[in-house]
Chain A
Amino acid sequence: AQTVTQSQPEMSVQEAETVTLSCTYDTSESDYYLFWYKQPPSRQMILVIRQEAYKQQNATENRFSVNFQKAAKSFSLKISDSQLGDAAMYFCAYRRGRVGSQGNLIFGKGTKLSVKP
């Protein structure tokens, strides 16, 4: 069975600084996706960034980037130039990639990020 582990329950960063959130996963599949979701106090789950396992290049979305280490099964999120609005819970998630059998998202327990002004 696939598992996702986030080892940092809480993190803190100074505004404008950079922070990295860690995530490891376990799977025997070769075709899968990895995601980072953000959940602000409004509780809406917002997709931050997505990585396809077969792509070696790390995904980037503006200030958000990932460090995808497939062999190590590691998928960390880097937030550059942190802003107050980045304060939220961040969830790492896994999903199979095969069309027609992707199944559900499997989530880590989350990391609560605080941003200090």
Chain B
Amino acid sequence: DARVTQTPRHKVTEMGQEVTMRCQPILGHNTVFWYRQTMMQGLELLAYFRNRAPLDDSGMPKDRFSAEMPDATLATLKIQPSEPRDSAVYFCASGSDRVRNTEAFFGQGTRLTVV
């Protein structure tokens, strides 16, 4: 059963600490997305990778956020230092744009609370 796996599911951390969220995309998928979901802003795109190369990270605060794909099986989103306003649910999604089936599959999200 192919699925996108995100870890951790929940994270509570103190302001100023580093937070790393991980995502394992579905094998064979070549696009990976990081979204942030908040009540106020809804689902916002933070980063978009294609064939492991970052194509769009314009939605990501550059001073504290970073996203990488060290290999095809792992994507990471890091916040350093974390702030209370970063509290949100962070979703990873993967898909394939090599064919016309453009569905994106989502992980279960990481609920981040920064106190």
Most chain A Cβ neighbours within 10 Å, of B33, B91, B103: B103
Chain A interface secondary structure, helix, strand, loop or mixed? loop
User: Which size class do A's interface residues fall under?
Assistant: 20 to 34
Beta-carbon nearest neighbor of A52 in chain B: B100
How many inter-chain residue pairs (CB < 8 Å) link A and B? 50
Is A71 an interface position by the 8 A CB rule?
no
Within 8 A of A (CB), among B84-115: 89, 91, 93, 95, 97-100, 102-104, 106, 108-109, 111
Q: B42 to A104, Cβ gap below 8 A?
A: no
Cα distance A100–B45 when bound, in Å?
19
Chain A residue nearest in CB terms to B34 = A104
Give chain B interface residues in 28-79, CB to chain A under 8 Å: 31, 33, 42-43, 45, 48, 55-56
State whether B45 touches A104 (Cβ < 8 A): yes
Which residue of chain B has the shortest Cβ distance to A31 in the bound complex?
A: B100
Q: Is the interface of B mostly helix, strand, loop or mixed?
A: strand
Binding site for B on A (CB under 8 A): 33, 35, 42-45, 47, 50, 52, 91, 95, 97, 99-110
27 contacts between A and B (CB under 8 A): A35-B103, A43-B89, A43-B108, A43-B109, A43-B111, A44-B106, A44-B108, A45-B91, A45-B93, A47-B103, A97-B102, A99-B97, A99-B99, A99-B100, A100-B97, A100-B98, A102-B102, A103-B48, A103-B56, A104-B45, A104-B56, A105-B93, A106-B45, A107-B43, A108-B42, A109-B42, A110-B42
